[in-house]
Structure 1
Amino acid sequence: MTTSQTDPMIGRLIDGRYQVRSRIARGGMATVYLATDLRLERRVAIKIMHGHLADDSTFKSRFVQEARSAARLAHPNVVNVFDQGQDSDMAYLVMEYLPGITLRDLLKDYGKLTPEQTIDIMEAVLSGLAAAHKAGIVHRDLKPENVLLADDGRIKIGDFGLARAASANTATGQALLGTIAYLSPELVTRGVADARSDIYALGIMMYEMLTGTQPFHGEQPMQIAYQHANDPVPAPSSVNPAVPPELDELVLWATEKDPDRRPSDAREMLDRLIEAEKSIRGDAVMQPTMVLPPAFAANDGETQIINPAIRQQVASAAPTATDTLSAAARRRRGKGWWLFALVLVLAAVAGGTGWYFGSGPGSLVTVPNVVSQAPAAATATLTNLGFKTAQAQEYSVTVPAGQVSSTDPKAGSAAGRGSTVTLRISQGPKPVTIQPLAGKTLDQATSEITGVGAKVGDTVKQFDPKVPANTVISATRASDGTDISGGGGYFEAATVNLVVSVGPVPDVAGMSVSDAQAALQKVGLETTAGPQSYSDTVDKGNVISAQAQKEGPVHPGDTLALETSKGPEPVPVPDVVGQTWDKAKKALQDAGFQLKYSAAADLLPGAFVVSKVSPSAGTQAPKGSTVTVNFAGF
């Protein structure tokens, strides 16, 4: 049984705008579907609250809160929220659609992750959560199921359904919310959460990523909750010896029982993670810098910064310069001052070079990923990193119009501080024109559609007596059902549905029932017994016609009823006894009978009188059967 047969939401148009296509996931509060935004012609994820919760003001308020919480965040590591509303008694939330998997799926497939993989994912999660904490939002339901790993490499936090303002009283007063395996001790014991509760959940997630298992287990949820409240989280290396000490310390710090001993928010934990990454991966992650004291500054009172290579040169050159200066002082004090001045100049040049390439205009900065952000927000991010910005436009099938669709240089590449990053702003899908499709072969129509960047959607096969097999009968826009058989305007990456002929239904008139069934089954049609009718042309028991059981076109898989012949229809034999042969002959032939009589009667038809017919007058006999005629005197 297919999803469309079991879920009434499939195919439904919500609020006159969102066409539901398929189900993605189902949770305790809502079900998430893949849908098409018909207004902007883009794929979105639409979360619809379960019907039995629609009358519960608490759940509805929590549902609306998710939209408001997520809408306040504009960050590349947080799922974007586009819209929120209500259609009839159904509350819904529209979010960006991210094809991919969750962190839970990844852990199921691989068991545990490497320290490097864990660091990469945690950096993205902490970056998004840091933005939430900065905006005063506590997620309260962090777990691998809510970390989305998109096919294009993006990592985002989703499902802010339990989010609350960090400044508000977040005690539930009811049953504990969130997933028990990631609840902090204060949530278990007092039902109160703040940003540090999110940190505890991240610590448990990090432990699970490094070891492939959760730190606490039990047959009942309360057993696990008790362990969260009372037992310390073990070091990940006790399960997986490959875990480095730096990550052990970070997990233990994040999962302290006392919230005051944890990182205060995601930004503090992210900074510590970056320090641990440098220790684990080496100085290649980020080159340190050195500050020269004012005594060796290029200008009086200024401080100069140099990179490690120049620092080494200065350090190795210092003893030589000192020895030379001492010797020269003993030989000739005047020349010693000249050498000292030379050392100062060299140090100033080295410091200036280090500043230029370390933090000045000559330094390289990684271009951040600002795709799907508003131009103003993207410009602010790049400006804070020292870039200049410019704007250009491009068509995009993945990013809504008005948002950043790409950058030049692209995200992740290195560019000089002060250089220009061009923000390409999406104009939405590119308008295209599709030529007439009706009358073309399926291959020709497919080439025409894909050639302009559109896609072939549903292809329905249909019998048609006038259109050759494998030829397009009609074409419609998948988004709104508009007929575009004769061509028309469209958008790149949009979908076209086709109706294709499979030729005429086979003519089975006159065939035996078994032969007719075989002929129809060969083209994918089923048969059933139909009515029986008289026929002057079809032998008794053979098929007169194959009739569709519903109005409209016939499609492969349909069932046809076979109408069979009962033979010619019986008619009464005319009463011609006592009539002359010329009149009797005409009456019998008009009734459809064959005649058997003496040929002499045709010589003088007006003289011969009928004395008897067999079958007798009034008897029912099939049309075409033979009537024997006798004449008086013969």
Structure 2
Amino acid sequence: LPQRAPSLAVPLPLPPSSNSAPPASSNSNALPQQVNFSELDRVNRIGSGTGGTVYKVVHRPSSRPYALKVIYGNHEESVRRQIRREIEILRDVDHPNVVKCHEMYDHNGEIQVLLEFMDGGSLEGILISREANLSDLARQVLSGLNYLHRRHIVHRDIKPSNLLTNSKKVVKIADFGVSRILDQTMDPCNSSVGTIAYMSPERINTDLNHGLYDGYAGDIWSLGVSILEFYLGRFPFAVGRQGDWASLMCAICMSQPPEAPPTASNEFRHFISCCLQRDPARRWSAAQLLQHPFILRGQPHQVAQNLHQLLPPPPPLSS
């Protein structure tokens, strides 16, 4: 596996204050009234997500399309109550970069969730080589992620297939099947769920961080891997996502984190480095990353400092 460039292995400068994050704006997709399950017509199967199948449905009275997620399995009542509680919390989530959860139905023993329909589908397998486009995408995802983290919601499964878009080119975070609400009374979100290819090293090998897991920092790692994958057009580690899982886990836990290539801008290389720090305490938060020069490059009046004040230009990566 390639070695990490020395210039990106040195201690990073202090990130901007988390208090500078922009306020979340309201989502315009909220429904004025409850949608009855009997008023939904199933159109076609969209795909399979975490623990369920998703269908496109149409609300007959309004002709409005939605996504309906049918959660697998005949769950015990205690599990059903837990799912209902989580969905009730997610119904209150209202942000333009987070897929809206509208309703929950318990129909014929199946739990079904009515979601905002994203007609552009997921970003899985998409190549985004223009940094301006990638900066806009990353800004949108970070805006939604910052909103969730401020509400103490950890997603835990950020990856390209869980980032959806629509015809207006709006990107939204989807699939909260493995998200958890963090509270002092709850476990530290360190169970092995989600997609291992995008998990942080300390989540796969808890010994790396003395058994502690920071779910917020874990989401940032997953975001960094996803953004770098969009830029490269391939999974950034030396093994494939669906290949040898043992080799994949070794690459994530034992090798140096992947980097953007030397052909990328210094802003982008530094941004990826801020996301993919092995030490979770050194990763920038979503609020801090929203103030990064790579994110603010199209808004020069908001840039607090030049990149050259953050990090000297890195040398070419070793082969």
Into which bin does the TM-score normalised by the smaller protein fall? Answer: 0.7 to 0.9
Aligned to 2:171: 155
Contact 1:183 1:225 (C-alpha < 8 Å) held by counterparts = no
Aligned to 1:132: 148
With over 3 angstroms needed to count, the CA separation of the structure-2 counterparts of 1:59 and 1:252, relative to structure 1, is farther
Letter in 2 for 1:236: A
Aligned to 1:94: 114
Letter in 2 for 1:228: I
Aligned to 1:234: 258
With over 3 angstroms needed to count, the CA separation of the structure-2 counterparts of 1:59 and 1:23, relative to structure 1, is farther
Aligned to 2:42: 20
SS in 2 for 1:121: helix
Structure 1 vs Structure 2: percent identity of aligned residues?
26
The question of 1:214 aligning with 2:235 is answered yes
Aligned to 1:186: 202
1:256-287 Cα deviation digits (max 9, x unpaired): 11111111x31111112xx2345x55xx6326
Contact 2:289 2:295 (C-alpha < 8 Å) held by counterparts = no
With over 3 angstroms needed to count, the CA separation of the structure-2 counterparts of 1:34 and 1:228, relative to structure 1, is same
Separation in structure 2 between the aligned mates of residue 220 and residue 271 of structure 1, nearest angstrom: 37
Q: 2:290 aligns with which of 245, 270, 294?
A: 270
Separation in structure 2 between the aligned mates of residue 79 and residue 285 of structure 1, nearest angstrom: 29
Aligned to 1:49: 71
Give the number of equivalent residue pairs: 259
* Cα distance, 1:49 vs structure 2: 1.4
Separation in structure 1 between the aligned mates of residue 268 and residue 121 of structure 2, nearest angstrom: 25
Aligned to 1:388: none
1:211-268 Cα deviation digits (max 9, x unpaired): 2222221532232122212211232115xx1x111211111121111111111x3111
Return 5+ residue gaps in structure 2 as ranges. 1-35, 305-319
Compute the TM-score of the two structures, normalised by the length of structure 1.
Answer: 0.38
Contact 2:291 2:303 (C-alpha < 8 Å) held by counterparts = no
SS in 2 for 1:237: coil
* Cα distance, 1:67 vs structure 2: 2.2
1:111-166 Cα deviation digits (max 9, x unpaired): 34211111010000000111000111000000000111101222111111111113
Q: 2:134 aligns with which of 97, 102, 118?
A: 118
Separation in structure 2 between the aligned mates of residue 24 and residue 248 of structure 1, nearest angstrom: 35
Separation in structure 1 between the aligned mates of residue 96 and residue 246 of structure 2, nearest angstrom: 36
Contact 1:66 1:160 (C-alpha < 8 Å) held by counterparts = no
Contact 1:140 1:193 (C-alpha < 8 Å) held by counterparts = no
Separation in structure 2 between the aligned mates of residue 118 and residue 251 of structure 1, nearest angstrom: 12
* Cα distance, 1:87 vs structure 2: 0.8
Contact 1:32 1:46 (C-alpha < 8 Å) held by counterparts = yes
1:362-401 Cα deviation digits (max 9, x unpaired): xxxxxxxxxxxxxxxxxxxxxxxxxxxxxxxxxxxxxxxx
1:412-470 Cα deviation digits (max 9, x unpaired): xxxxxxxxxxxxxxxxxxxxxxxxxxxxxxxxxxxxxxxxxxxxxxxxxxxxxxxxxxx
Separation in structure 1 between the aligned mates of residue 104 and residue 141 of structure 2, nearest angstrom: 25
The question of 1:252 aligning with 2:270 is answered no
Q: Which has the higher strand share?
A: 1
* Cα distance, 1:39 vs structure 2: 4.8
Separation in structure 2 between the aligned mates of residue 135 and residue 17 of structure 1, nearest angstrom: 32
Contact 2:50 2:178 (C-alpha < 8 Å) held by counterparts = no
Aligned to 2:18: none
Aligned to 1:202: 223
With over 3 angstroms needed to count, the CA separation of the structure-2 counterparts of 1:124 and 1:246, relative to structure 1, is same
Contact 1:69 1:160 (C-alpha < 8 Å) held by counterparts = no
* Cα distance, 1:28 vs structure 2: 4.5
Separation in structure 1 between the aligned mates of residue 257 and residue 189 of structure 2, nearest angstrom: 24
SS in 1 for 2:261: helix
Contact 2:214 2:280 (C-alpha < 8 Å) held by counterparts = no
1:20-58 Cα deviation digits (max 9, x unpaired): 1211112351111111223544221110112xx223568
With over 3 angstroms needed to count, the CA separation of the structure-2 counterparts of 1:147 and 1:65, relative to structure 1, is farther
1:72-98 Cα deviation digits (max 9, x unpaired): 321111111110020121110001112
Separation in structure 1 between the aligned mates of residue 48 and residue 302 of structure 2, nearest angstrom: 46
Separation in structure 2 between the aligned mates of residue 234 and residue 103 of structure 1, nearest angstrom: 21
Q: 1:82 aligns with which of 90, 102, 106?
A: 102
Aligned to 1:503: none
With over 3 angstroms needed to count, the CA separation of the structure-2 counterparts of 1:250 and 1:230, relative to structure 1, is same
* Cα distance, 1:171 vs structure 2: 3.6
Separation in structure 1 between the aligned mates of residue 261 and residue 107 of structure 2, nearest angstrom: 51
With over 3 angstroms needed to count, the CA separation of the structure-2 counterparts of 1:58 and 1:159, relative to structure 1, is farther
* Cα distance, 1:188 vs structure 2: 0.4
* Cα distance, 1:65 vs structure 2: 5.4
Letter in 2 for 1:72: D
Return 5+ residue gaps in structure 1 as ranges. 1-13, 290-634
Counterparts of 1:66-81 in structure 2 under 5 Å? 67-81=87-101
Separation in structure 1 between the aligned mates of residue 55 and residue 291 of structure 2, nearest angstrom: 37
SS in 1 for 2:291: helix
Separation in structure 2 between the aligned mates of residue 29 and residue 201 of structure 1, nearest angstrom: 20
The question of 1:286 aligning with 2:307 is answered no
With over 3 angstroms needed to count, the CA separation of the structure-2 counterparts of 1:220 and 1:87, relative to structure 1, is same
Separation in structure 2 between the aligned mates of residue 256 and residue 65 of structure 1, nearest angstrom: 34
Contact 1:70 1:79 (C-alpha < 8 Å) held by counterparts = no
Contact 1:48 1:92 (C-alpha < 8 Å) held by counterparts = yes
Separation in structure 2 between the aligned mates of residue 193 and residue 61 of structure 1, nearest angstrom: 26
- Considering Cα pairs closer than 8 Å and 6+ residues apart, tell me whether 1 or 2 has the greater RCO: 2
With over 3 angstroms needed to count, the CA separation of the structure-2 counterparts of 1:96 and 1:182, relative to structure 1, is same
Runs ≥4 residues deviating over 6 A: none
SS in 2 for 1:152: coil
* Cα distance, 1:103 vs structure 2: 1.3
Structure 1, 144-153 or 205-214: larger mean CA deviation:
205-214
1:334-388 Cα deviation digits (max 9, x unpaired): xxxxxxxxxxxxxxxxxxxxxxxxxxxxxxxxxxxxxxxxxxxxxxxxxxxxxxx
SS in 1 for 2:247: helix
